[in-house]
Amino acid sequence: MDKLVAQFPKQIADAIQIASKAKLSFYENKTFDHVVICGMGGSGIGGKMVAQLFSDQATIPIVLVQNYSIPAFVNEKTLVIGSSYSGNTEETLAAIHSAEEKGASIVGISSGGELIQFCKNKNYDYIRVPGGNPPRSMLAFSVIQLIHILSKAKVIQQDALDSVMNCRHLLNAELISIKNEAKSLAQHVHGKQCVIYADSDLESVAIRARQQFNENSKQLCWHHVIPEMNHNELVGWSGGNDNYAVVFFVSQFISDRNKLRTELSQEVIGKKTSHILSIEGKGKTLIEESFYFIHIIDWASLFLAELNEKDPIEIQVIDYLKNTLNKA
């Protein structure tokens, strides 16, 4: 897993190359009213990232589906993107079959499996990404293919991928800082109940942290976003104590009001636990900053796995669940 995390900057360049060579025709002579991205786990987080990071330029709604069913509004003017790294994710496949019944335009992103075969059989466009690795370690591939597809559909700007290439340069230039931040983060949450907070524009980053600590580090945690947590969860801190380790991912692009809310939230929480860590973002855009945070998180999850004496690759519980479902 260490090698895969280290390759994240290179994966950005590789994924852009794959996107540039993809043969897509789904968008020809078509306009769409909405986009639905279907994906779970390590594939689904890519959809969440893209929907959030490009919300300021998306010309139509982008909805993420992480279930077997799709929204009732899906019709022939809907672009439905199925993102399943293995190609065999049953929830995503069920959603894609439902989308076909409603006449939606479908595009697949996968390394193979049933999703690619379905697209081939039905003459739907698809983009194949490299296979054989844990889906959570291939985030760059799903995110970049989604951006490419949305730009082709004219849902987001045509040059959207240019901003992602800059992320690679940032990650390479900041590698020492990133790994130092990651080690501090891992040590901060080790042996504690981890709580993750971020600005609502960065919820995908907070989710990524929760998922990586769950899967790689084998450690439970939760996340919430500002300002919503100020309307409920902040009151829950009346029962907080020093067993909690709190992490704030603080964006450079946070609004003045949410910046103040973050500071006040830290003040309130600081009365209950002394374990509060703020990680400041870097990068010229929110996209660059998100990739910066994610690289810190991915490294931190490996350092935390080592502290927890856990194998970051092992997912026996998920394998058991999938095998049992297949027999049911």
- CATH code at position 152: 3.40.50.10490
Same domain, 85 and 223: no
DSSP class of residue 194 equals E
pTM (two decimals): 0.94
In a domain, 315, yes or no: no
Residues 6+ apart with CB under 8 A from 313: 1, 134
Q: What is the residue type of 123?
A: N
Same domain, 10 and 123: yes
- The candidate with the shortest Cα–Cα distance to 44, out of 104, 84, 11, 5, is 84
Query: What residues are paired with 248 via a beta bridge?
Result: 197, 278
Indicate the pLDDT class of residue 327, thresholds 50, 70 and 90.
confident
pLDDT value at residue 322? 87
Same domain, 139 and 81: yes
Same domain, 227 and 156: no
Task: Enumerate the H helices of 28-78 as residue ranges.
Answer: 41-53
In a domain, 204, yes or no: yes
Structure tokens at 198: 């971020």
Cα→Cα distances 234→228, 230, 239, Å: 9, 5, 10
Query: What is the residue-averaged pLDDT of the chain?
Result: 95
In a domain, 86, yes or no: yes
Residues 138, 142, 143, 147: is their CA dihedral positive or negative? positive
- The candidate with the shortest Cα–Cα distance to 246, out of 269, 219, 217, is 269
CB 240 within 8 Å of CB 273: yes
In a domain, 208, yes or no: yes
Please name the helix (run of DSSP H) or strand (run of DSSP E) that holds residue 37, with its range, or none. Answer: strand 34-38
Indicate whether 65 pLDDT > 90: yes
Same domain, 236 and 294: yes
Q: What is the domain range of residue 118?
A: 2-166
Q: Which own/partner contact pairs does 125-134 have at CB distance under 8 Å and 24+ positions apart? A: 125/23, 125/24, 125/25, 125/26, 127/18, 127/19, 127/22, 127/24, 128/18, 129/15, 129/18, 129/85, 130/14, 131/85, 131/86, 133/4, 134/1, 134/4, 134/42, 134/215, 134/313, 134/315
Q: How far is C-alpha 131 from the geometric centre of its chain's CA atoms?
A: 18
Indicate whether 134 pLDDT > 90: no
Q: Which of 134, 166, 198 is the last residue of a domain?
A: 166
Same domain, 146 and 232: no
Same domain, 56 and 141: yes
Same domain, 40 and 189: no
Same domain, 118 and 159: yes
Q: What is the residue type of 132?
A: G
Q: How many domains does the chain have?
A: 2
Indicate whether 319 pLDDT > 90: no
pLDDT value at residue 101? 97
Q: Which of 166, 192, 211 is the last residue of a domain?
A: 166
Same domain, 128 and 227: no
Lowest mean pLDDT across 113-122, 190-199, 310-319: 310-319
In a domain, 320, yes or no: no
In a domain, 321, yes or no: no
In a domain, 219, yes or no: yes
